[in-house]
A and B are shown apart, each in its own frame.
Chain A
Amino acid sequence: IVLTQSPGTLSLSPGATAALSCRASQGVSVSNLNWYQQKPGQAPRLLIYGTSTRATGIPDRFSGSGSGTDFTLIIRGLEPEDSALYYCQQYGNSPLFSFGPGTKVEIK
């Protein structure tokens, strides 16, 4: 399975809303689609699992939705600290885990 993310880079102002897309080459169960955030110099951290459930400590500005082959991460009220790489990841198809190439979010 191949995950494609768009756009490659998103440049937005503080307070704006970001919409990040993740498309799968074949259907993914909603239970098996996760999102991660990676800030420079850090390991990725879990943001959203099961398409729409926020991980512990993740603010409600982050939300996920989707089904089948199309999934979306929405970040509302962008803050400078949201500047990061965002990856979608699927579980269950071969290989068991695979990641999209990432979307870079820049806050300017």
Chain B
Amino acid sequence: QVQLRESGPGLVKPSETLSLACAVSGQSITTDYYWGWIRQSPGKKLEWLGHIFHSGSAYYNPSLESRVSLSVDPAKNQFSLRLKSVTAADTAIYHCVRTDKKWYYYIDVWGAGASVSVS
């Protein structure tokens, strides 16, 4: 059973960079899935940040593209998120996710989420 677990600081100062990692267990990250990040604001809005393939090909939400970057580390079986120049509006729960892409595109595995406050 595939499990995802987020890790990283729970508090980030404004203008600094938010960095989170997602450890994948139960499956190799080099399989045919996208690995990505979705955040949920305190108001419960869900926002897709982007996803990455194990080759390093990444797709980002255009609204955040200038500030977000994803990376993948097959040796550690994990992937990471960096969001620079954060503001209070970036306060959210950040979920790492797996996206199935074989016939349909849907998010079928979610991490429990990491709560990040910008203050």
Q: How many A-B residue pairs have CB under 8 A?
A: 60
Known contacts A95-B63, A96-B59: A49-B104 contact under CB 8 Å: yes
A71 interface hit (Cβ, 8 Å):
no
Contact between chains at A44 and B110 (CB < 8 Å): yes
- Residues of A close to B44: CB separation below 8 A: 85, 101-102
Give residues of chain A (41-71) contacting chain B, Cβ–Cβ below 8 Å: 42-46, 49-50, 53, 55
Of A16-24, A74-82, A86-94, the stretch lying at the interface with chain B is: A86-94
Contact between chains at A46 and B106 (CB < 8 Å): yes
Q: In the bound complex, what is the Cα–Cα distance between A55 and B44 (angstroms)?
A: 23
- With beta carbons under 8 angstroms apart, the residue of A43, A46, A92, A95 that contacts B61 is A95
- Residues of A close to B104: CB separation below 8 A: 31-32, 34, 49-50, 53
- Residues of A close to B59: CB separation below 8 A: 96
- With beta carbons under 8 angstroms apart, the residue of B48, B51, B111 that contacts A99 is B48
Q: Determine the residue in chain A with the shortest Cβ distance to B101.
A: A91
Q: In the bound complex, what is the Cα–Cα distance between A54 and B38 (angstroms)?
A: 22
A contact set with B: CB distance below 8 Å: 31-32, 34, 36, 42-46, 49-50, 53, 55, 85, 87, 89, 91-92, 94-99, 101-102
Shortest Cβ gap from A90 to chain B (Å): 10
- Residues of B close to A53: CB separation below 8 A: 104
Contact between chains at A43 and B48 (CB < 8 Å): no
When A and B form their complex, which 8 residue pairs have the shortest distance between CB atoms, in order from nearest? Answer: A97-B48, A43-B110, A99-B46, A49-B106, A91-B105, A95-B61, A34-B106, A50-B104
- With beta carbons under 8 angstroms apart, the residue of B45, B48, B106, B111 that contacts A96 is B48
Residue among B38, B105, B111 facing the most chain A CB atoms (10 A cut-off):
B105
